Amino acid sequence: MQALVYTDIQKLIYREEKNPKLLKGESIIKVSASGICGSDMHAYHGHDNRRIPPLILGHEVSGVINKGKDIGKKVVLNPLITCGTCSYCENKREHLCPKRIILGMNRPIERQGGFAEYVSIPDKNIYSLPENLNIKEAPIAEPCAVALHAVELGENELSEELKEGKALVIGAGAIGLLCGLILSKVKKCKEIVIIEPNDKRLEKSLKYLDANGLKPSSKNILKDHFNIVFDTVGLEVTRKQAIDCIKPGGTIIHIGLTQPSGNFDFRKATLQEITFIGTYCYTNRDFEKTLSILNNKEIGSLEWIEYRELKDGADAFKHIHEGSCSSPKIILLV
């Protein structure tokens, strides 16, 4: 099969690789589309010790079953593979399973990803493609589930209804935009500010999201003002902005993984009873709910997605790295 292989820092090669073998309890998927995630970019930059080259990245995947059960069926994959037997899995918190792994990762267990013609995955992680969702759009289900989980985590912590609150979203990448769309179109939040340094990406996002879009340096970003803040970037500077902008008793949802440490105003967090929640993925229920949201077109048009051929994937990574790409999400077509 042909695959886009991560071979070194900021280096991807489109080349011939061995086809995956069919394993018991799994199916092999002929990949139709696979999205580039922020965590794929972390690997590309050499900042992810769970993804060591050489490796086929990619975990936002749709396709058609090629071998295994239901051959020919159009599907979308939940790439988060869990043990199913630990206390977290048994209590429907499988996203916290200590043995969780994901497609496109080789530490601690190797799972080649979806930037390839074929990928193998357990049958329990395969979902039917929703009737009203285009197969090339379907990889957006995975980041949308991340955003839904984050929004509902924050919603559960608020003392007032989310639709009556003021929300700040830091970052207009796919997760940031999807958080904004869920806040606006699903949760009916009326006051949303989204901040993004990339002018092209901010302009693109605001065509689809009813929000006030600002640069991070804008004086119009009020301190001690927002009930809830979503940091979808995860830098020291964005965490500082989050704690500066949150109002007393508010909630910060930290989704970004860019920078693992740095200074943070714990004094304000303590004195003003700020809730800080880290979140990385989603439950099976979140994924299923996301498929329903996408099937019913609840977050509106997905025309903000950009599509490129898998063979051109190295250039796509490069353009994201350079900031020359305006789209919050690039999906590679196989």
Query: Hey, which bits of 116-241 come out as E strands?
Result: 118-122, 126-128, 166-170, 191-195, 212-214, 226-231
Q: Quick one: 130 and 154 in the same domain?
A: no
Contacts of 19 (CB under 8 A, 6+ apart): 1, 28, 117, 118
- pLDDT tens per residue, range 256-296: 989 999 999 999 999 999 999 999 999 999 999 999 999 99
- pLDDT tens per residue, range 111-133: 999 999 999 999 999 999 999 99
Q: Quick one: 224 and 186 in the same domain?
A: yes
Write the CA distances from 45 to 9, 53, 320, integer angstroms.
Answer: 6, 11, 11
Percent of the chain, pLDDT > 90? 99
In a domain, 287, yes or no: no
pLDDT at 15: 98
Q: What is the mean pLDDT of the chain?
A: 97
Q: Quick one: 56 and 79 in the same domain?
A: yes
Q: How confident is the model at residue 228 (pLDDT cuts 50, 70, 90)?
A: very high
Q: Quick one: 11 and 100 in the same domain?
A: yes
How far apart, in whole angstroms, are the C-alpha atoms of residue 106 and residue 76? Answer: 22
Q: How confident is the model at residue 170 (pLDDT cuts 50, 70, 90)?
A: very high
Q: What is the CATH number of the domain that holds 240?
A: 3.40.50.720
pLDDT at 55: 98
Q: Quick one: 98 and 126 in the same domain?
A: yes
How far apart, in whole angstroms, are the C-alpha atoms of residue 126 and residue 241? Answer: 39
Q: Quick one: 50 and 33 in the same domain?
A: yes
In a domain, 258, yes or no: yes
Q: Quick one: 151 and 126 in the same domain?
A: no
Percent of the chain, pLDDT > 70? 100
pLDDT at 82: 97
Block residue for tokens 């916290």: 96
Q: Quick one: 162 and 235 in the same domain?
A: yes
In a domain, 186, yes or no: yes
In a domain, 164, yes or no: yes
- Residue 122, classed as helix, strand or coil, is strand
Q: Quick one: 203 and 178 in the same domain?
A: yes
pLDDT at 280: 93
pLDDT at 43: 96
In a domain, 289, yes or no: no
Strands 26-35 and 329-333: antiparallel
Q: What is the mean pLDDT of residues 307-334?
A: 97
DSSP string over 172-195: -SHHHHHHHHIIIIIS---EEEEE
In a domain, 202, yes or no: yes
Q: How confident is the model at residue 71 (pLDDT cuts 50, 70, 90)?
A: very high
- pLDDT tens per residue, range 1-39: 999 999 999 999 999 999 999 999 999 999 999 999 999
Q: What is the mean pLDDT of residues 179-191?
A: 98
Query: Domain limits at 153?
Result: 144-278
Q: What is the mean pLDDT of residues 238-261?
A: 96
pLDDT at 64: 98
Of 124, 23, 24, 39, nearest to 75 by C-alpha is: 124
How far apart, in whole angstroms, are the C-alpha atoms of residue 323 and residue 172? Answer: 12
pLDDT at 1: 98
Give the sign of the dihedral formed by CA 35, CA 279, CA 199, CA 48. negative
Q: How confident is the model at residue 88 (pLDDT cuts 50, 70, 90)?
A: very high
Q: What is the CATH number of the domain that holds 77?
A: 3.90.180.10
Whether the Cβ atoms of residue 175 and residue 147 lie closer than 8 Å to each other? yes
pLDDT at 274: 98
| Number of domains comprising the chain | 2
pLDDT at 63: 98
In a domain, 154, yes or no: yes
Whether the Cβ atoms of residue 160 and residue 284 lie closer than 8 Å to each other? no
pLDDT at 238: 98
